[in-house]
Chain A
């Protein structure tokens, strides 16, 4: 019985969400009365393992292999399956990153388990862990409990736990070399790249007016542009608007776009799926205009208007012009 936190690194640099998962692990260990270990996979990752050795943990696993130099789902699944078989944790925690989304369901399946993905928090009820996650784009929460006695696999949503809560300490580092062979890796990866440099830097904007699905048609974007012009704000959008080609991709706010923290963020017709919220919840003031009073965007809004944006926005443009005199 133990908690195992699987950390994430690329090119020997930590993914920041690893520390959030580690913070979750450090809370779960005492809550369940079981030891906590953490693992780092890679090639030449001794320094990272050493850094983990300075945290309050019962054990650090440094899984070292040249075939773990670049991430592939095949190699990570083989290496981690071997680690879990050996360490026999009762709970495995991951940060819910794009990479974890790629391999963790496969790993859990191979080990006869099932991943509960994108978890907001883990509660302990009657000595058992209950994982809370969102459904229906954040409109509902749901509690999940393990049905059998097997290992629980849980990935932790970005921002659900706080990296600065990670406690320092000391832990023994064990180096493991998994039995990994090149023939097991069916996928050949090329170097990651960025598409042409971003033309628009939304991160520097003080005011942002952002449009979502609620605007319905491309022509209606002029309403958003008018509001932005009246405010002196940048125009942005949630993913579906950019997917439709209504605005260029570099206007996108969210996990696959830019992360912004303006003085005021106007979310107009944006329901507030988590992929969008992670890109804007650091805004100092959030104003949401949406017809659905249960839209998750109101979870993070300071000011909310429940109503038809096609009535509210024209009125708002007029009032702003008046207020600016």
Chain B
């Protein structure tokens, strides 16, 4: 089975965000970056499927030059090769434009299965995999907790709301968006890191793929949210904060 995994590089989770002077994005030049966590689970699922059924895992990433770090990590974990759609300013595309870049690149790989995380930790649209499926004319399912290969295709377990699940089957090729926690993430081994240096990373560009930016939706402004609730922040040292909170819990909230 040839499995394509779409991965994204995002700012690290504990980044302190600051809105940029344009008011349309944040200052991201100095932020440290990491693989989008749900995509890490999608990659792990692809690696496990390959270990079980054989085949190849190809990592696909659209992003600036510095995304090559995330691509190398995917190769170090065990992806066989990678495709990097290098684009310094992905922000000039809307979500559909980015999905078009990925779809064009995916079509060249001709995978049996495409996996990606269910959403990104930065923009959080949760749509890329589904749009990709539509652009490629493939069946899809989302928020997947289990993937089994069958004679005719795959059988997957989809998470529904409130603790419900559902199994479904579909033919291949297909697109799945993977839920975090579906598997246990592996670390790259020293051997893996060494091998990654020699693995192929194919460079593509928006121009080369024939995708031009024609946004249907424009991001007008980003800003810090206003607080809806008046939060009483407790000042002081840890000990002072703790003492004050215990007092509030005892005399105001009355639960002690």
Q: Identify the A interface with B (CB < 8 A).
A: 73-74, 77, 97-98, 101-103, 105-106, 109-110, 113-118, 130, 134-148, 150, 186-195, 198, 206-207, 213, 231, 239-240, 242-245, 255-259, 263-264, 271, 285, 287-288, 292, 294, 296, 298-308, 311-312, 315-316, 318-320, 322-324
Q: Show 23 residue pairs from A and B whose CB-CB distance is below 8 angstroms, ordered by the A residue.
A: A105-B127, A109-B99, A114-B216, A116-B217, A117-B125, A136-B11, A143-B219, A143-B222, A145-B220, A148-B216, A187-B139, A187-B168, A189-B167, A189-B168, A190-B168, A192-B160, A292-B14, A294-B17, A304-B232, A305-B234, A307-B241, A308-B238, A319-B246
* 0 or 1 for each of B234-251: is its CB under 8 Å from A? (1 = yes): 100011011101111110
Interface stretch of the complex, out of B59-67, B76-84, B129-137, B199-207: B129-137
Say yes or no: A106-B14 contact (C-beta < 8 A), given A143-B220, A186-B170.
no
Is B17's CB under 8 angstroms from A323's CB? no
Is A305's CB under 8 angstroms from B168's CB? no
* 0 or 1 for each of B159-186: is its CB under 8 Å from A? (1 = yes): 1111111111111000000001100100
Q: Describe B's contact surface by its main secondary structure.
A: mixed
Q: Which residue of B lies closest to A303 (CB)?
A: B232
Residues in A whose Cβ lies below 8 Å from that of B53 = none
Is B216's CB under 8 angstroms from A146's CB? yes
Is A312's CB under 8 angstroms from B238's CB? yes
Residues in A whose Cβ lies below 8 Å from that of B162 = 259
Q: Which residue of B lies closest to A116 (CB)?
A: B217
B49, chain A: closest CB distance, angstroms: 19
Q: Identify the B interface with A (CB < 8 A).
A: 11, 13-17, 19, 26, 94-96, 99, 121-127, 130-131, 133-135, 139-143, 159-171, 180-181, 184, 215-225, 227-229, 231-234, 238-239, 241-243, 245-250, 253, 255-256
A286, chain B: closest CB distance, angstroms: 8
Q: Describe A's contact surface by its main secondary structure.
A: mixed
Is B217's CB under 8 angstroms from A144's CB? yes
Q: How far is the CA of A301 from the CA of B228 in the complex (A)?
A: 10
Q: How far is the CA of A138 from the CA of B119 in the complex (A)?
A: 14
Greatest chain A CB density within 10 A among B143, B228, B245 is at B245
Other than A189-B166, A299-B227, A303-B231, give 16 A-B pairs with Cβ distance below 8 A: A98-B143, A98-B160, A118-B125, A118-B126, A139-B224, A140-B222, A140-B223, A142-B222, A144-B217, A144-B218, A188-B168, A193-B164, A193-B165, A256-B159, A303-B248, A322-B246
Q: How far is the CA of A312 from the CA of B167 in the complex (A)?
A: 44
Is B139's CB under 8 angstroms from A74's CB? yes
Greatest chain B CB density within 10 A among A102, A145, A324 is at A102
Is A140's CB under 8 angstroms from B220's CB? no
Is A98's CB under 8 angstroms from B225's CB? no
Residues in A whose Cβ lies below 8 Å from that of B242 = 305, 312, 315-316, 318-319
Say yes or no: A114-B96 contact (C-beta < 8 A), given A102-B142, A140-B26, A315-B239.
yes
A249, chain B: closest CB distance, angstroms: 8
Residues in B whose Cβ lies below 8 Å from that of A73 = 130, 139-141
Q: Which residue of B lies closest to A318 (CB)?
A: B242
Say yes or no: A292-B16 contact (C-beta < 8 A), given A135-B122, A303-B245.
yes
Residues in A whose Cβ lies below 8 Å from that of B11 = 136
Is A97's CB under 8 angstroms from B161's CB? yes
Q: Which residue of A lies closest to B182 (CB)?
A: A243
Q: Which residue of A lies closest to B180 (CB)?
A: A243
Is A186's CB under 8 angstroms from B171's CB? yes
Q: Which residue of B lies closest to A312 (CB)?
A: B238
Residues in B whose Cβ lies below 8 Å from that of A150 = 216
Say yes or no: A188-B249 contact (C-beta < 8 A), given A301-B229, A320-B256.
no
B171, chain A: closest CB distance, angstroms: 6
Residues in B whose Cβ lies below 8 Å from that of A213 = 13
Q: How far is the CA of A320 from the CA of B256 in the complex (A)?
A: 8
Say yes or no: A323-B249 contact (C-beta < 8 A), given A198-B163, A207-B255.
yes
Q: How far is the CA of A243 from the CA of B181 in the complex (A)?
A: 4
Residues in A whose Cβ lies below 8 Å from that of B221 = 142-143
Is A139's CB under 8 angstroms from B17's CB? yes
Choose one: A98, A141, A148, A264; the contact of B249 (CB below 8 Å): A264
Is B14's CB under 8 angstroms from A141's CB? no
Residues in A whose Cβ lies below 8 Å from that of B159 = 98, 256
Choose one: B126, B160, B180, B225; the contact of A299 (CB below 8 Å): B225
Q: Which residue of A lies closest to B26 (CB)?
A: A140
Residues in A whose Cβ lies below 8 Å from that of B19 = 140
B159, chain A: closest CB distance, angstroms: 6
Q: How far is the CA of A276 from the CA of B161 in the complex (A)?
A: 13
Q: How far is the CA of A98 from the CA of B160 in the complex (A)?
A: 6
Q: How far is the CA of A110 from the CA of B26 in the complex (A)?
A: 32
